Amino acid sequence: MRLIVKGCLVSLAIFSAISASSSVNAFPEKSVRLTVGFGPGGPSGIAARFMQKRFTAVTGQELIIINKPGAGGAKAWSQIKKDKKDGYELTLLNFPHTVLQPIARGKNAGYSYEDIQPVLYYTSVPQVLAVRKDSPIKTFKDLVSAIKAKPGSVTIGGTGIGGSNHSAFYKFNKVGGFKAAYVPFKDTSSTIAGLKSGSTDAAWTFTTQGVKDGDSIRLLAIASDKRMSLFPELPTLTELGYPVVDVAYWSIGVPPGTTSNIRQKVSDAFQKVVNDASVKADMSKGGYQPILIPYPKSNEFKARLGKDYGAVGKALSKKKK
Amino acid sequence: MEFLQHISASFSPYILAVGTCGLFLGILLGALPGLSSTFSCAVMLPISFSMDPVPGLIFLGTVYMGSTYGGSFSAILIKTPGTPQSITTTFDGFPMAKRGEGGLALSIACMASVIGGLTGIFVFLWLAPPLAEFALMFGPAEYFWLALFGLTIIASLSEGNLMKGLISGFFGLALSQIGVSVVSGDMRFTYENSALIGGIPIIPATIGLLCLPVAIDLIADADHHLSTPLTERSNNFLRAARAIWDRKQNALRSSIIGTLVGIIPAAGGAIASLVAYAEASRTAKKSDRFGDGDPGGIIASESANNATVGSGLIPTFVLGIPGTPPDAVILGAMMVHGVQIGPKLFTEHNDIVLTFLSGMTIATVLMLPVGLFLGRFIYSAVTKMPKSYLVPMVALMLVIGSFAIQNNYHDIVIMLVLGIIAWVISRFGFPAPPIVLGLLLGPIAEQGFAQALMIGRAKDSVLEIFFARPISIALIGCILAAIVLPPLLRRSSFNRLRMKENVST
Amino acid sequence: MFQLKMNIAGKRAKNILGSLTFGMLGTFMLYAAQDFESAGRVTPAFIGCGLLFLSVLLIIVEFSKSELLPPPTAITGSLVRRSLFIALMVIWVVALPYLGFVVAGCLAFAIISAAVPKNSNKTSTNFALNTVAGVLTTIGFWVVLTAFLKVPLPEATFF
């Protein structure tokens, strides 16, 4: 009798091991849902759509993108906790937003830093300082001298308060000892519209806009650690003597409490998609900088970003009080 | 002439099929309450990715055009704007349907949509690069004045008691304050409640505020939802054509207003139809009864919102700034498809633009037969439907419409709560449409005001930025005219109306 | 005459109650605006002031006006059915996350259609017919939305 039970248990264990291993290979077995906290046409929406275009071809399943814009992404992130932990309900995470918001908004953010669980950082965009093509400010030097000539009079646009553009603005001013007027806009395309209409003198924005609007705006400097191959002429702020690095990252996120097995599967599946040559090419052409920080390294990277932006976030929210 | 060649070239069966499919899907999605044009385009993105860039874009463009028109179906028949663009269509469309002229209202909406749609596309075709400059003349102060101008139609919507209309409008503005403040980063009135973090979303709120009271009143008695048509036997097509011909100035002006507002980045069809409606009711004849079932209101609203479809693509293609919210989706699709935008597109890849536009033109013309056919079909379905089926059907669409767009349970709750509030306060004489206006225009006004103030302070020119720019001056003139003129014009007609009532009672 | 006076008094009470409610909302907004940043304070404070001012004005006008405004269109039909419908909608929405879209939708459809007043008295067959129609409609929407539009509708957590 005991033998039979033992045999059953063994065979059960073997069976479950086999099914487990086959499901590792098989993820995803049904369509995968990815919630994006911004509208379908913004940099985040497009970052997700790049993957959607090739997802079916690579994995054999569909990627369903749900746009849930609101509160600078927080509307989507505040609902991560409620998602199923099976790897099929994912959320696109933006950094540094998800670090800065819980600091600035406290409980009103709707989520905490711990709710943010990245499993695969796959793309990034450095921030750039941009002006209108026919602006009297021609070079980075012009901008600096204009800011110095009359502190507080140069207007610089950016998206929102306490977001990544605002953090770049703050860091840059701190490093240079500058004083300028920050004008917040509701989204990236409004920021660019404000810049192009001459409402603001300059803007903090992303390299994606440099590609899209290359004809009508001029990039002055890039806040990354090295020059970007798409803009070989564009100097980094560090080269110019103002060591500011501020890059926005996107990661696939899982709900907190997801097992490491599932995290690994999600990370692996999406890694295959973003490693697809055409996805990479599309992203590079669009001004995105593909990166690859899979699970479990993604945890360390999140901790690093959390440390880097923790101080900035505190300063931004302290400045407000 | 190059365009004519392209029209013939794009008369390929494939493009025609793609355009018709897009149109059909767009109309159906737009007609369902809550499924907005932005949503419809976003849902269709994966399908467009499976096509070549140009057919893909035509597909998205026709979905957009169709949904903008389709929104008028539910606006007219159940007072629920299918898309935010047709909020103003409810003001006159529903009263018309209520008194038995729904078929006529739908035909007018269809023709006005085609007129507006073609205007927008032709302006794009011939004037895109120069008009893109117009988009750049809009700074924060101009947005502020534009929003204020939109709010002036509260006056024409609250015939009888202006003060209560204004209170409703302010209530809408108050609701618009919930959520993150763009200009200060504050979380306002959210009280750590995750349902309120993103603010009051406009689509569920509109559905609740305008349609739930209708549903609540539907169940009160056994009468038919819409009056039995009296004159429906006569030809709606000819009657609608005559109604538009009699108001050709209105149709033309509203198409042009729609075109211009469409070019202004991020303003969109909802604002365009509001502005066109405000202008139409300001210049209305004494005999017109805007807000009470005047065909002019539908013409203004529908021709303006469809004009934004074509013209909104002007800043999208030339400047890379979406002119209307759905254009953001089309812009994203262009990026993913790898179509280079900017002035270069017009010089180096003009064939893409021309093929796209001719596809859109054909689809817009097709909208006339398709729209009239669908209109007739849906209208007779709604009028013949037994009430015991219609009421739960409307209730079901309210729930789906508020949920689907963002896949968010909280939005259903918001729809329900606001709808109940709207019904209760309407019993106290406070109208619901101004709440929608306040909710829609509040953020635009606030952001414009605060940004203009910040810029003005930095440059020591606060007064100049608000009052010394040409478009601002023009808008201020319109606002003053909208506030001052109607009471003067109406006094005489109101007196006459009262005299007549006194005689009859 | 007495009836008319009652109507006026009733209307007056309604107007005053309405104005007071909105006036309180305005006061609350003014009070709450103090907590915000200088840039985020202006608009709510302005809106609060506007609400307060308008509601005070409405009360003043209410007491000072001598003539009757044209009476609003009378509300016809059953108030009980209206309240019942609101209650059903609330129950539906509350139950939605537990029952899931399909079950909650079918049930709500059948119950609401039963609550609609009828001209004829063939209620039992009508009810069965409407329930079938409700189930078909709900499932139809569910199929279109989940399979074609890829909108995941709420699933049951109760079963």
Instruction: Give CA–CA dist A168/A181, Å, rounded.
Output: 13
Kindly state whether A64 is in contact with chain C, defined as any CB-CB distance less than 8 angstroms. yes
Predicted local distance difference test score (pLDDT) of residue B33: 87
Residues of chain B where predicted confidence (pLDDT) is lower than 50: 501, 503-505
Instruction: Give CA–CA dist A240/A225, Å, rounded.
Output: 12
Between chains, do C152 and A320 touch, taking CB under 8 Å as contact? no
Neighbors of chain A with 3 or more C-beta pairs under 8 Å:
B, C
Neighbors of chain B with 3 or more C-beta pairs under 8 Å:
A, C
Kindly state whether B151 is in contact with chain C, defined as any CB-CB distance less than 8 angstroms. no
Between chains, do B442 and C43 touch, taking CB under 8 Å as contact? yes
Residue C112 lies in a domain: yes
Residue C159 lies in a domain: no
The contacts of residue B289 (CB under 8 Å, 6+ apart) are none
Residues C35, C7 share a domain: yes
Instruction: Give CA–CA dist B474/C43, Å, rounded.
Output: 24
Between chains, do A155 and B459 touch, taking CB under 8 Å as contact? yes
Predicted local distance difference test score (pLDDT) of residue A256: 94
Give the angle C40-B470-B132 at the CA atoms, nearest 5°. Answer: 85
Nearest to B65 by CA among B335, B322, B312, B276: B312
Partnered with residue A253 across adjacent β-strands are A91, A118
Predicted local distance difference test score (pLDDT) of residue C128: 82
Summary mean pLDDT of chain A = 87
Instruction: Give CA–CA dist A154/A146, Å, rounded.
Output: 7
Between chains, do C152 and A62 touch, taking CB under 8 Å as contact? no
Q: Which two tokens stand for residue B316?
A: 């999208």
Which chain B residue has its CA at the smallest distance from A46's CA? B332
Residues C60, C23 share a domain: yes
Predicted local distance difference test score (pLDDT) of residue A21: 44
Residue C71 lies in a domain: no
Facing residue for B416 by CB, picked from C90, C108, C149: C90
Neighbors of chain C with 3 or more C-beta pairs under 8 Å:
A, B
Predicted local distance difference test score (pLDDT) of residue A19: 45
Q: Which two tokens stand for residue B350?
A: 């003009």
Q: Domain spanning A126-222: which superfamily?
A: Periplasmic binding protein-like II (3.40.190.10)
Domain range list for chain A: 29-124+248-320, 126-222
Residue C154 lies in a domain: no
Predicted confidence band of residue A148 (pLDDT cuts 50, 70, 90): very high
Q: How far apart are the first and last CA of chain B?
A: 64
Q: Are strands A32-36 and A89-95 parallel, antiparallel or unpaired?
A: parallel
B388 against A13, higher pLDDT: B388
Predicted local distance difference test score (pLDDT) of residue B229: 61
Q: Answer whether residue C39 shows pLDDT above 90.
A: no
Rg over alpha carbons for chain B, rounded to the nearest Å, is 22
- Residues of C at the A interface, defined by Cβ within 8 angstroms: 37, 150-152
Predicted local distance difference test score (pLDDT) of residue B486: 65
Predicted local distance difference test score (pLDDT) of residue A289: 92
Which chain C residue has its CA at the smallest distance from A88's CA? C152
Predicted local distance difference test score (pLDDT) of residue B439: 93
Q: Is B24 helix (H, G, I), strand (E, B) or coil?
A: helix
Instruction: Give CA–CA dist B37/B325, Å, rounded.
Output: 8
Between chains, do C22 and B413 touch, taking CB under 8 Å as contact? no
Domain range A29-124+248-320, CATH architecture:
3-Layer(aba) Sandwich (3.40)
Predicted local distance difference test score (pLDDT) of residue C1: 44
Amino acid at B257: I
B205 against C70, higher pLDDT: B205
Nearest to B179 by CA among B157, B201, B147: B201
Predicted confidence band of residue A53 (pLDDT cuts 50, 70, 90): confident
Tell me if the bond preceding A96 is cis, omega within 30° of 0.
Answer: yes
pLDDT in tens, A267-307: 999 999 999 998 999 899 889 999 999 999 999 999 999 99
C125 against A137, higher pLDDT: A137
Facing residue for A215 by CB, picked from B199, B342, B458: B342
Kindly state whether A199 is in contact with chain C, defined as any CB-CB distance less than 8 angstroms. no
Q: Is B138 helix (H, G, I), strand (E, B) or coil?
A: coil
Report DSSP letters for B153-165, one per residue: HHHHH-TT-HHHH
Predicted local distance difference test score (pLDDT) of residue A16: 46
pLDDT in tens, B8-24: 766 788 888 899 999 99
* Contact between B10 and B362 (Cβ < 8 Å): yes
Q: Answer whether residue C3 shows pLDDT above 70.
A: no
Letter string b/e over residues A256-281, b meaning 16 or more CB atoms within 10 A of that residue's CB: eebeeebbbbbbbbbbebbebeebbe
Facing residue for C54 by CB, picked from B167, B498, B501: B167
Q: Which two tokens stand for residue B258?
A: 């729609």
Report the gap between the CA of A11 and the closest CA in chain B (Å): 43
Facing residue for B447 by CB, picked from A107, A186, A197: A186
How many independent structural domains does chain C possess? 2
Between chains, do A62 and C150 touch, taking CB under 8 Å as contact? yes
Between chains, do B396 and C138 touch, taking CB under 8 Å as contact? yes
Residues C91, C144 share a domain: yes
Predicted confidence band of residue A41 (pLDDT cuts 50, 70, 90): confident
Residue C153 lies in a domain: no
Domain range list for chain B: 2-224+234-504
Residue C98 lies in a domain: yes
Rg over alpha carbons for chain A, rounded to the nearest Å, is 22
For residue C53, give its domain range: 2-64
pLDDT in tens, B277-320: 988 888 877 677 888 889 999 999 999 999 999 999 998 888 87
Chain A positions touching B38 (Cβ under 8 A) are 39-40
**Which chain A residues in 10-49 lie under 8 Å from chain C, judged by CB atoms?**
31, 33
Predicted local distance difference test score (pLDDT) of residue B166: 92
**Which chain C residues in 57-116 lie under 8 Å from chain B, judged by CB atoms?**
57-58, 61, 69-70, 72, 75-79, 81-82, 84-86, 89-90, 92-93, 96-97, 105, 108-110, 112-116
Kindly state whether A282 is in contact with chain B, defined as any CB-CB distance less than 8 angstroms. yes
Residues listed for chain A: 321
Q: Answer whether residue C2 shows pLDDT above 60.
A: no
Between chains, do B46 and A52 touch, taking CB under 8 Å as contact? yes
The contacts of residue B394 (CB under 8 Å, 6+ apart) are B78, B80, B211, B214, B215, B218
Mutate to test the interface with A, among C34, C150, C151 (most CBs of A within 10 A): C150
Between chains, do A70 and B185 touch, taking CB under 8 Å as contact? no
Predicted local distance difference test score (pLDDT) of residue C85: 93
Predicted local distance difference test score (pLDDT) of residue C27: 94
Residues C132, C109 share a domain: yes
Facing residue for A104 by CB, picked from B185, B192, B343: B185
Predicted confidence band of residue C45 (pLDDT cuts 50, 70, 90): very high
